Structure 1
Amino acid sequence: MIKPEMSVIISTYNAPKWLEKTLYGFSIQSFQDFEIVIADDGSKQETLDLIEQFSADTEIPVVHVWHEDNGFQKSQILNKAILKCSSEYIVMTDGDCIPRKDFMQVHFDRRDPGHFLSGGYFMLPMDISEKINKEDIELQRCFEKSWLEKNGLKSVIKTMKLTSEGRKADFLNKITPTSPTWNGHNASGWTSDILKVNGFDERMQYGGQDRELGERLVNSGIKGKQIRYSAICVHLDHPRGYKTQESIDYNRSIRKNTRDTKSKFTKFGIKKN
């Protein structure tokens, strides 16, 4: 069996309406030589049925990695998903982010040994998130500033992420004051680099576990490259019941230790002890 050029890991948890829109976005990508690996943190039957139906309807290989619901264990399920990827390059995103049609092409074209790619997202309000349908994704209306404003989006400077192309996008990637970080909704890197730092730290709950992985990559000599104006996805709104100040503070302490000690490896990742 020929391995795909890339694997895309999509994390999800009991949000089938959003996951369906995300999967449809990947089904119409201009670049198609990839597999989908769904990192499912314990979703119920409705999500399982959706994935089974999508797998039957697409020619894209789909791997569903699931474990029982034991609270917020995103880092753990992502590590399990990493081990199921069959390609040498991994793109990561979330099941509430619809990719623009050229999303995978951008990640493929800009792959670079010794680097990871750092993309961003454009956050949508709940009413527009719910309104987007398959036709809006197929016709790419949900990435058009005029369509979004027609449907109630307030005009903001961040829409430049949606309207910038070519040299303008490259220029904005270069001058943005935002540092290139590993962002779980839109980042990619070489499988070997991710395995070398031992994947995600499974002690971490909500809040920055993706950034901590990126910090270990940087400590190990892998540099980040900014593509926030080139690899575009729209982020669907949803409540975050798992977000607590306690988990955020705990994660910050782990990240501080990673930075202070210049750690390249976590003992709490894919390989234990």
Structure 2
Amino acid sequence: MTEKIQASVIVAFYNKIELLKIVLSALNNQYDGSFNVVIADDGSRSDVVNEISSLKTSYKFELIHLWQADNGFRKNKILNQAVLHSNEYLIFTDGDCIPQRNFVLDHLINAQEGYCLNGRRADLSETVSKKINLEKPETFFKRHIKEILIEYMFGRGKNIEKGFRINISKISDYLNRKEKGIVGCNFSLFRNDILKINGFDERYEAAGTGEDSDVEFRLRLAGVRIKNIFFKANQIHIYHKELPRSPDNDNLFSAVKESEKSYTPFGIKRQED
């Protein structure tokens, strides 16, 4: 990374304004002048839109809000708009994932052209999730670790180990040695690298696959390598019931893999025309 890199943290969002405020607070408390925040809003209500507008001067960073009409799940479409309005380096997250203290820093210090950084999240239990608020959310995992671990021992919460930040190179390299697929809530890359594949394929209109697996597959075809940064760039995921997955997504992804084409004609370029 060089000091000249300017990033955009792209937050995929829909209606959950109180959680969004917590995400923005966590980012504000780690702001160092290196990033702005782009809210990729897939059709939130008008009252939520108005509230976001009132928040724009509340933070140290520039806050950009992009909105599209609510016509079903069209996350990929609004993410493509966010790419067009972003800085040279893109960090993707979701509006229910709270970035911990070094989230942005870890993405930026590991940034490399031709690489997509692959992070993870710690999934909190329902009980612990209810305790998070605007009070230093970027240190929530560290401050509540005892309770988080007790819940985990009783089968509540998942992937809790991913909440620990390990900054010892040899240990980090060992823990990141295996290839793993990217997840849509925690990955980053240079803007030019995602433009190589024309961004997100907007034909995916349900959660899962299209926002990460499809992107990863086409990035690899385009020569972009995947680099794990597990146990860094930590984030915690607020509990909620999983969104339904659609077999249409799987069928479309199968067709994409058969075509072996990295560039989708159903992405950013179509929006610019």
Q: Same fold (TM over 0.5)?
A: yes
Equivalence for 1:198: 198
In structure 1, what residue type is equivalent to 2:108? F
For residues 10 and 238 of structure 1, the distance between their equivalents in structure 2, rounded to whole angstroms, comes to 17
Quick one: which amino acid aligns to residue 160 of structure 2? Answer: T
Deviates more, 1:108-117 or 1:260-269: 260-269
Q: Equivalents in 2 of 1:4, 1:62: separation in Å? A: 18
Secondary structure at 1:259 match in 2 = helix
TM-superposed CA distance for 1:141, in Å, is 3.0
Change (3 A) 1:46 1:154: farther
Q: Cα distance 1:159–1:126, how it changes in 2: closer, same or farther (>3 A)?
A: closer
Alignment partner, residue 248 of structure 2: 250
Greater share of helix = 1
Name the count of aligned residue pairs: 261
- Does the 8 A contact of 2:26 with 2:136 survive in 1? no
What's the counterpart of residue 62 of structure 1? 63
Q: Secondary structure at the match of 1:225?
A: strand
2:128 maps to 1:105: no
Structure 2 residue 218 is the aligned partner of structure 1 residue 216 = yes
Q: Deviations over 1:90-118 (max 9, x none)?
A: 00000000001100000000001111100
Q: Are 1:40 and 2:38 an aligned pair?
A: no
Structure 1 counterpart of 2:258 = 260
CA–CA separation in structure 2 for the residues paired with 1:171 and 1:102? 20
Structure 2 SS opposite 1:252: helix
In structure 1, the partner of 2:123 is 123
What is the Cα deviation at residue 17 of structure 1? 2.1
SS in 2 for 1:131: coil
Deviations 1:126-173 (A, max 9, x none): 2221211122515x13345224246x4436783322234112334312
1:170/1:29 Cα in 2 relative to 1: closer, same or farther (>3 Å)?
A: farther
Q: Which residue of 2 aligns with 1:10?
A: 11
SS of structure 2 residue aligned to 1:185 = coil
For the 8 Å contact 2:21–2:134, the answer to whether it is kept is no
Pairs within 5 Å for 1:166-185: 166-167=167-168, 168-174=171-177, 177=178, 179-185=179-185
3-state SS of paired residue (1:160): helix
Is the partner of 2:253 in helix, strand or coil? Answer: helix
User: How big is the shift at 1:253?
Assistant: 2.0
User: Which residue in the other structure is 1:142 paired with?
Assistant: 141
- Paired AA for residue 10 in structure 1: V
Where 1:69 maps in the other structure, the secondary structure is coil
Range that drifts further, 254-263 or 157-166: 157-166
Q: 1:181 to 1:54 in 2, by over 3 A?
A: farther
Looking at structure 1, the residues matched to 189 and 180 of structure 2 have their Cα atoms a distance apart, in angstroms, of 13
Cα distance change of structure 1 residues 118 and 155 upon mapping to structure 2, 3 Å threshold = farther
Counterpart Cα distance in 2 of 1:227 and 1:16: 29
**Which residue in 2 is equivalent to 1:74?**
75
TM-score, normalization by structure 2: 0.88
> How far apart are the structure 2 equivalents of 1:104 and 1:170?
20
2:267 equivalent to 1:269: yes
1:185 alignment partner AA: C
Gaps of 5+ in 2: none
Consecutive unaligned residues in structure 1, runs of 5 or more: none
Distance 2:33 2:154 in 1: 33
Q: Is the 8 A contact 2:141 2:163 kept in 1?
A: no
* CA RMSD of superposed structures (Å): 2.2
CA contact (8 A) 1:126 1:236 kept: yes
Amino acid at match of 1:217: L
The amino acid across from 2:153 in the alignment is K
Cα distance in 2 for partners of 1:164, 1:271 equals 38
For residues 136 and 149 of structure 2, what CA distance do their matches in structure 1 show? 14
| Alignment check: 8 A CA contact 1:7 1:35 kept | yes
1:80 Cα deviation from its structure 2 partner: 1.0
Name the % identity.
33
- SS at 1:134's partner residue? coil
**Whole-Å separation in 2 of the counterparts to 1:185 and 1:164:** 17
Q: Which residue of the partner structure matches residue 133 of structure 1?
A: 133
Greater mean deviation of Cα atoms: 41-50 or 230-239:
41-50
